[in-house]
Amino acid sequence: MKVQQLLADLARFPWLPTLQTLRERFREDRLGLSASSLTFTTTIALVPFFTVALAVFTAFPMFGKMQANLQSWLVQSLVPDAISRQVLGYLTQFAGKASRLGGLGFAALVVSAIALVLTIDRTLNNIWRVRRPRPFGQRVLIYWAVITLGPVLLAASLGLTSYLASASRGVVRELPNLVTFVLTAIEFIALAAAYTALYRYVPNTPVKRAHAMAGGVFAAVGIELAKRVLAWYIGTVPTYSMVYGAFATVPILLVWIYIAWLVVLFGAVIAAYLPSLLAGPRRRPGTHGWQFQLALEVMQHLQKARATARRGLTAAELGAVMEVDLLQLEPVLQTLVQLDWVGRLNEVDDAIATRYVMLADAQSTALEPLMRHLLLPASEATSKLWQTGRLSSLYLADVL
């Protein structure tokens, strides 16, 4: 019954709207450019991350025996097999030299590692349309804790399967099919769990566990498929090996990091837009003035809600009645709150249940501030239009 229910859910899933959403977000959010930026930052931060991991293992001798197996497992789980051994050798060599740096050099490595996590934070918050990220100090403390404690937690969690991990890396020549399947499942679940945590806790906005999990599974599946496709391409079309020779590992690694970040960003888009995808057809963003139009519609619905017992509506209710994505609506609500036209009522500790109520008096509130924010900014070129068009004389009541 569960398998039949799963197949039925997959058949009802809006696959075509999902592909359309991925294509639109790739173009409008410039995900290709974001992946390029993350690729560059990741390349710079690889050695610092690996150095921190080595330092953590050195500080905890109990993990020393499984250090080599764990490092090999991590690299081979995240990097295609064709270059995993070379990458592990390079990282170990570079990290060994980095550990002999002085205080200034080590500080530079720390800054590059923090730059990567801050870039990830900014990129994911942009996908979720978050305008106010966490304070800088709080972000640095959280991510530095993850960088330093992550290897320890991972080593502890893999300690129960240390025999299987070492066996899969050559200590035991032959493994039963069941053991191989369990190892593959553990690797997949670990990657999916890591991506799920990334999508759930990095954006400074509430993300449901189920939505983050869907994005995490999508990213884990995408990474596995991308690894196999890239390995097949390298083996079938040895272009990089013929052109670059022994140096071929570097361009292949850069290409792989770029592809991996694209998959991760697409998984974030899935997690962010899954509520609207499951809710059914939605209005697509229009031309210029789309946010201004949404702002007027929000004010119209909140004015009607004044006569009800609740006096306001949640963002989900506004999105449903207006048939728009919540991520499209969020920046509009932020602008209206900044203008003090709309207020938030937090009766419970749940941002999703926050109600929005109308504060502005329609008869005495000029429309000009909203127009300047979302429709026609004030400039020398538009000054005549503001004067002759008498746009400053319009009030909120005129459009509601």
Task: Give the pLDDT score at 159.
Answer: 47
Say if residue 275 is in the same domain as residue 375.
no
CA dihedral 188, 189, 193, 195 (to 10 degrees): 10
Alpha carbon distance 204, 45 (integer Å): 24
Q: Does residue 99 lie within any of the structural domains?
A: yes
How does pLDDT run across 30-54, given as a tens digit for each residue? 888 888 888 888 877 776 666 666 6
Residue 29 belongs to some domain of the structure: yes
Q: Which of 211-220, 272-281, 323-332 has the lowest mean pLDDT?
A: 272-281
Are 272 and 313 in a shared domain? no
CATH of the domain at 368: 1.10.10.10
Q: Which of 223, 253, 279 is the last residue in one of the domains?
A: 279
At 173 the pLDDT is 46
Question: How many separate domains does the chain show?
Answer: 2
pLDDT (tens digit, 9 = 90+) per residue, 115-159?
A: 777 888 888 888 888 877 777 777 777 776 666 555 555 555 444
Domain that holds residue 344: 290-399
- Which residue, chain included where needed, has tokens 């991350």? 49
Residues 257-262, mean pLDDT to the nearest whole number: 89
* Same domain as 31, residue 56: yes
Residue 44's pLDDT is what?
A: 77
What per-residue confidence (pLDDT) applies to 97?
A: 59
pLDDT band at residue 242 using 50, 70 and 90 as cut-offs: low
- For residue 1, tell me if it sits in a domain: no
pLDDT > 90? residue 265: yes
DSSP state of 170: I
Q: What is the DSSP string of 54-99?
A: HHHHHH-GGGSTTHHHHHHHHHHHHS-HHHHHHHHHHHHHHHHHHT
Does 108 lie in the same domain as 212?
A: yes
- Strand order through the sheet with 342-345: 312-314, 355-358, 342-345
Long-range CB contacts (< 8 A, 24+ apart) of 132-141?
132/204, 133/204, 134/204, 140/114
Tell which residue, 289, 296, 300, 299, has the closest CA to residue 377.
Answer: 289
121 near 133, Cβ under 8 Å? yes
Total residue length of the chain: 400
| Mean per-residue pLDDT, 18-22 | 78
User: Across the strands, what pairs with 358?
Assistant: 342
Burial class (CB in 10 A: 0-12, 13-18, 19+), 118: middle
